[in-house]
Amino acid sequence: MFKRNLYFRIVSTFISVVMLSLFISYLINSIFFHQELFIEEEVSKISTGVAELVELIDVEKVPDLMETLEGFNLEMMIVNEEAIVYSSFSKPPLAINSESIQTIINSPEITSTVLPYHKREATRIVGSPIQMLNGEYALFIQINYEKEVVALKRIIAFTLFLVLFIGSVLILLASTHIVNPIKKLTDAAKQMATGNFSVRLKSKNKDEVGELINSFNYMASELEKIDKMREDFVSNVSHEIQSPLTSIKGFTKALQDDVIPKEHQKEYLDIIFQETERLSRLSENILRLASLDSEHHPYHPSKYRLDEQIRRTVLATEPQWKMKNIQINLDLKSLEIYADQDLFEQVWLNLITNAIRYSYENGIVDISLQGNKDEVFVSIKDTGKGIPEESIPHLFERFYKVDKARSSSVKGNGLGLSIVKKILLIHDCSIQVESEEGVGSIFTVRIPIYSDADRKL
């Protein structure tokens, strides 16, 4: 449980990173930096200084000097080849032997030589030649900086520990900045899983977490829209089903109970038949929309004559326009398009049926087909009742009807234009509506023509 905690992960990552970098820097340090050089330089300077001092003062004062130097952790020895003249060394070091004494005495004045030492030793012995009592002597100074090294190591270790400790505490505090928004996101996602799509989170930062929160909010609002659409869809469908069912139920009951005189029975059966047809059209349209919505809707485009297709559709709707005594004028240029014939047939059928359905008796419907090599326009113009301006933006919404009360007697279900829109979208086409109430409407479809080469891309 604790291991899965994000705080724990951040702090442990921090500690591991610091530890690892310390280790690597230690390695690099020990490979590339030779601090010994600094120390040797210092030690040589001291020893040259002492050598000058010894030459300056009286020989009797040398023991006093030795005592003073001991207070600074400096041990000293003056020798010549025969004997040790003065020494404050606790034990004579191995490095001082007749050979090294010889070398020092023979070396030029004011030079100092560091004697060989062990790598890990914190002591250095430096020899300088001196002139004393009219003779040549070698002066050895031993510096022990063990204590300083230990103190330095302690300070470094303590500082590193402090860095780790303070860093961990600060990282722990700072990580709340990172972890809190994620916790909030988790809570919000859980809420959304229970069906509450109204959750939104505030994001102050523009960083990755801020972006995540923005995306989450966007997802939530999209889901909310989809949920709303689903609710509307269910209520619309039930409403559309309910009214024909009610009349079917009522009329069959009346027929069953023999309350309808024989001569009127045919009328009632006609109504029942129409309502059944309306229901079947509804389910047909819903299925068609569902199929168009799905990624795998059938789509079989081919090249065909558009004018012929429109002419066929007009013929198919003949009973409807004949019944209302509507005059249909065709002005069709002979043009070919590349599209799914079955789907486009649906488009013309829906638009022409609407033009007839929402026209008055003896109206006129003009259908024209124009175009050039880039685009084709089909316009369907009626002299019907028109559409109020405020309704035009909603025409292509599912189940939208301008006149809700009346349209139940007119056989629509408000899905026709949404199917048209969907099919046109699939084909990269667009549709425009111009309408004036009491004058009529024009629906214009624009079909872009792609060359064969473009289409293959």
Each residue 194-233 as x (binds ligand ADP by CB under 6 A) or -, in order, gives: ----------------------------------------
- In the complex with ligand ADP, the residue whose CB is nearer, 115 or 351, is 351
Q: How far is the CB of 426 from Mg ion (least distance, A)?
A: 19
Assess 127 for contact with ligand ADP (CB under 6 A): no
154: number of Cβ within 10 Å: 10
What does 104 bind: ligand ADP, Mg ion, none (CB cut-off 5 to 8 Å by kind)? none
Is residue 313 a contact point for ligand ADP (CB under 6 A)? no
Question: In Å, how far from its chain's centre is CA 222?
Answer: 17
Instruction: Identify the residue among 354, 363, 379, 427 touching ligand ADP (CB under 6 A).
Output: 354
Q: How far is the CB of 303 from ligand ADP (least distance, A)?
A: 28
Cα–Cα separations (whole angstroms), residue 116 to 94, 106, 360, 364: 10, 18, 119, 118
Least Å from the CB of residue 351 to Mg ion:
8
Residue nearest to Mg ion (CB): 416
Q: Which does 181 bind (CB under 5 to 8 A by kind): Mg ion, ligand ADP, none?
A: none
Candidates 326, 355, 369, 429; binder of ligand ADP (CB under 6 A) is 355
CB 380 within 8 A of CB 352: yes
Tell me, residue by residue from 378 to 417, as one string, x for binding to ligand ADP by CB under 6 A and - for no binding: ----x-xxxx-------x----xxxx---x----xxxxxx
Q: Does 358 bind ligand ADP (CB under 6 A)?
A: yes
Nearer to ligand ADP, 244 or 412 (CB): 412
Kindly state the smallest distance separating residue 387's Cβ from ligand ADP, in Å.
5
Nearer to ligand ADP, 104 or 352 (CB): 352
Instruction: Give the residue nearest to ligand ADP (CB).
Output: 412
Of 47 and 353, nearer to ligand ADP (C-beta) is 353
445 binds, among Mg ion, ligand ADP, none (CB under 5 to 8 A by kind): none
Choosing among ligand ADP, Mg ion, none, which partner's interface includes residue 358 (Cβ < 5 to 8 Å by kind)? ligand ADP
Q: Which stretch binds ligand ADP (CB under 6 A): 11-19, 60-68, 348-356, 446-454?
A: 348-356
Give the total of residues touching ligand ADP (CB under 6 A).
23
Terminal Cα-to-Cα distance of the chain (whole angstroms) = 53
Residues in touch with Mg ion (CB under 5 A): 354, 412, 416
Quick one: 74 or 351, whose CB is closer to Mg ion?
Answer: 351
Choose the contact partner of 129 out of ligand ADP, Mg ion, none; CB within 5 to 8 A by kind. none
Residue 203 interface partner, choices Mg ion, ligand ADP, none, CB cut-off 5-8 Å depending on type: none
Separation between Cα atoms, residue 111 and residue 99, nearest integer Å:
17
| Binding partner of residue 244 among ligand ADP, Mg ion, none, CB cut-off 5 to 8 Å per kind | none
Interacting residues with ligand ADP (CB under 6 A): 350, 354-355, 358, 382, 384-387, 395, 400-403, 407, 412-418, 441
